[in-house]
Structure 1
């Protein structure tokens, strides 16, 4: 991924490398053992930019990052993926589900640790950016870092019943509902900051251009407001997203797409089947063009493999899809209930023949009338297809009251490393 763009100065690259070494060697409290050196770096635009860029690297570039671990954990327990090699013990635990998933699972630990590291480092950027003289540059740093802080908090709140309220020693826990509210508050603060001081062109020239900052903030607010049941806010924020603008993580041969790296080995997981693991009324229509987008037959002998955002080294990965934003509108309207306008929004996804990322069902429009429950069932079906392997399905299954027998876990146990170092760690869920 071209996270460090070609025109970023060598000094910023150097800062990024040095700070990665310092901050990656943190303790449970995510503190730098060379505090004085780090404090000097965090007092400059270059140092803060390096840390901000590092957030995206921690989130999306490695097998231990939030992007991959959330997709893997979610995919196994919601029956999106099938395990290819039972020797992969963490994946085997998640594929088996139930009590087989415990605090030793390294996929869950990596998700937990990477998310908390992002929160810690984002807080460093946000607090220190306020001290900069260039308020437009500071606004960019705060907004950009807030995106990753919100994503980290939101991901934890999707998978655990309670999450830590910060990153200090023996930090207290808050409910997942409070976690979503906290993520929204982080994004609200970013919008307030950039309303007062628009993001400077100099900041935008030093960070990846592929993240549409303002649109991403609104999209994430819509997502987490929906998860919180705040439908009025979810609709307002979804309407604020410009669906003609893409926002994604960009990869290349130097920094390859981690999903492709894993999938191409054909040794970890692949789609359960051509129906994306969906059954009954949720099985995709035979003509649904999203199936050949997300899956393909490959190899000798040919087997079903992931396509889409895991298709190649340089395949981009969207932070949000246009279809997600439209389906948020459809769901909110259905729950009001405004069934007429909900169906109009749903049909925008059903009949879509193209979008910024090539995700398009290209089906005939659905024709009602539908009851509220029938419409919600259709929205769930199309979210499951449109947002395949996005890491969002387990949250959808709970919100749409899908049978608990259709998933292998409802919430995850806390990593043993957390329990060993934080006396406030809650009891594990039974399932």
Structure 2
């Protein structure tokens, strides 16, 4: 990895851009494909560059996971001393030109552009074997699918609500500035492409000990997520089980260190290797949770804490510290790894896969299998946990509540509300309260607008193609 990163510095094809169209980056400073793909090592360096952008604070390094939680009901942004970070997101008062909307779109599509470059150019790499080419293409397709999975959930209605509705822009080949514009593909078309990419990845990748890249197990886990989102319960259960088989859940001791030091987390399937050497030190996920004055902005109140039994070790991730906040609890689930600005942020882990398995089996009416899967997560965190006896819709709700306790802060709550078409209710100490259901006009707030810059520059998208409510 160190050798590849050294090559990446020398062969950086992912440079600055002067193009204003988000999907048509053709950076004038980039190294040409002839150089970037003149060898397998150079092509791998290009892949490292794509992952480096994935960890950008404007995408999965900070914005996406933070927004996924503060767009829910469980966690909140502190009402003061927050420098304005994510305030309008938490208030659910978004406009199409806000940075919270435009930045994830731009960076997500830039990573997709780079993945497309790898997929398109890898077949012509000299001296690379067919299996080496196939694995590199598989890694790029898994990365492309990962980005599209975020974008389709953020910028389009849920699959449950409108599978044939407007999704996002689907590009599977590199686009130059002079190429034709694309409009919004349907949500179904986007999910079909995600499944196609991940299926190829599963077939052409192996499992790696290094979890900073997506591997075969990571692709299986992403397929489990995708099938959960598209309500294909059989496939969701199948791939979730494949993804967690052979992994152990964290012990109680490992749980306390598992969100800081990746070496102590046996259930990690994929994480972002976020380091201070190539990212802004304070624009990392731990900086917004850990008690650093001016950045520590994420809070929980007693309403959310009441969801945890006193015997639940996860309740220990919350602390009341009056000098920083006299009203609500700090969230200490994440910490810096050895030095401020270093963070190995876990994006996929085995516990989530058990919960996907549980939810899918409950929807299929296989109550016993669902209960066994969710109980694996419950009993690890709570020695006094009682195995559920519910069935049907009541069992599904038990599992969804366990998702809230297990996955808080990891970037799931917003998407879980949307995909299940649930009511949105904030209570307790939340200072931006909302109460609306799927049939209410305000439900549009759970979907981001298409960025205004895209509408202004893309001839195939106009104001009529904007999402409802914007």
TM, length-normalised to structure 1: 0.83
Alignment partner of 2:316 out of 292, 300, 303? 292
RMSD: 2.9
Structure 1 residue 69 and structure 2 residue 63: aligned? yes
Structure 1 residue 423 and structure 2 residue 462: aligned? no
1:342/1:405 CA distance change after superposition, 3 Å:
same
1:87: Cα distance to partner? 7.2
What is the distance in 1 between the residues matched to 2:315 and 2:188?
Answer: 33
What is the distance in 1 between the residues matched to 2:183 and 2:344?
Answer: 37
More displaced, 333-342 or 180-189? 180-189
Q: Counterpart in 2 of 1:20?
A: 14
1:90: Cα distance to partner? 6.2
In structure 2, the residue corresponding to 1:130 is in which secondary structure? Answer: helix
Alignment partner of 2:114 out of 121, 126, 133? 121
In structure 2, the residue corresponding to 1:316 is in which secondary structure? Answer: strand
Structure 1 residue 324 and structure 2 residue 346: aligned? no
What is the distance in 2 between the residues matched to 1:116 and 1:427?
Answer: 18
Deviations 1:222-242 (A, max 9, x none): 011110111111111112114
Deviations 1:266-298 (A, max 9, x none): 4356333255x649xx822232212323x3445
Alignment partner of 1:344 out of 362, 372, 381? 372
1:25: Cα distance to partner? 5.1
1:108: Cα distance to partner? 1.7
What is the distance in 2 between the residues matched to 1:350 and 1:87?
Answer: 34
Q: Counterpart in 2 of 1:164?
A: 169
More displaced, 79-88 or 162-171? 79-88
| Contact 1:210–1:248 under 8 Å retained in 2 | yes
What is the distance in 2 between the residues matched to 1:416 and 1:41?
Answer: 33
Deviations 1:121-162 (A, max 9, x none): 001111211223322332332222223211110001111112
1:82: Cα distance to partner? 1.8
| Contact 2:78–2:297 under 8 Å retained in 1 | yes
Q: Counterpart in 1 of 2:287?
A: 261
What are structure 2's unaligned runs of at least 5 residues? 157-166, 249-266, 427-433, 435-441
Q: Counterpart in 2 of 1:272?
A: 299
1:138/1:43 CA distance change after superposition, 3 Å:
same
1:88: Cα distance to partner? 4.5
| Contact 2:300–2:331 under 8 Å retained in 1 | no
Q: Counterpart in 2 of 1:309?
A: 334
Alignment partner of 2:192 out of 181, 195, 209? 181
More displaced, 216-225 or 35-44? 35-44
| Contact 1:83–1:268 under 8 Å retained in 2 | no
Q: Counterpart in 1 of 2:2?
A: 6
What is the distance in 2 between the residues matched to 1:131 and 1:26?
Answer: 27
What is the distance in 1 between the residues matched to 2:219 and 2:456?
Answer: 35
In structure 1, the residue corresponding to 2:469 is in which secondary structure? Answer: coil
Structure 1 residue 283 and structure 2 residue 307: aligned? yes
Q: Counterpart in 1 of 2:160?
A: none
What is the distance in 1 between the residues matched to 2:324 and 2:87?
Answer: 24
| Contact 1:376–1:400 under 8 Å retained in 2 | no
1:289/1:45 CA distance change after superposition, 3 Å:
same
1:34: Cα distance to partner? 5.8
1:59: Cα distance to partner? 1.2
| Contact 1:59–1:67 under 8 Å retained in 2 | yes
More displaced, 136-145 or 260-269? 260-269
In structure 2, the residue corresponding to 1:240 is in which secondary structure? Answer: helix
Deviations 1:320-372 (A, max 9, x none): 121100001100110011112111111111001xxxxxxx344423341x131
TM, length-normalised to structure 2: 0.76
| Contact 1:160–1:176 under 8 Å retained in 2 | no
Alignment partner of 2:414 out of 386, 394, 413? 394
| Contact 1:32–1:38 under 8 Å retained in 2 | no
What is the distance in 2 between the residues matched to 1:187 and 1:134?
Answer: 22
What is the distance in 2 between the residues matched to 1:321 and 1:361?
Answer: 19
Q: Counterpart in 2 of 1:235?
A: 237
What is the distance in 1 between the residues matched to 2:188 and 2:383?
Answer: 36
In structure 1, the residue corresponding to 2:297 is in which secondary structure? Answer: strand
1:88/1:253 CA distance change after superposition, 3 Å:
closer
1:301/1:111 CA distance change after superposition, 3 Å:
closer
Q: Counterpart in 2 of 1:355?
A: none
Deviations 1:170-202 (A, max 9, x none): 2121233432332121111223334xxx69xxx
In structure 1, the residue corresponding to 2:334 is in which secondary structure? Answer: helix
What are structure 1's unaligned runs of at least 5 residues? 353-359
What is the distance in 1 between the residues matched to 2:360 and 2:218?
Answer: 19
Structure 1 residue 102 and structure 2 residue 98: aligned? no
What is the distance in 1 between the residues matched to 2:410 and 2:119?
Answer: 27
What is the distance in 2 between the residues matched to 1:7 and 1:36?
Answer: 19
What is the distance in 1 between the residues matched to 2:45 and 2:134?
Answer: 15
Corresponding pairs, count = 400
What is the distance in 2 between the residues matched to 1:91 and 1:6?
Answer: 34
More displaced, 124-133 or 175-184? 175-184
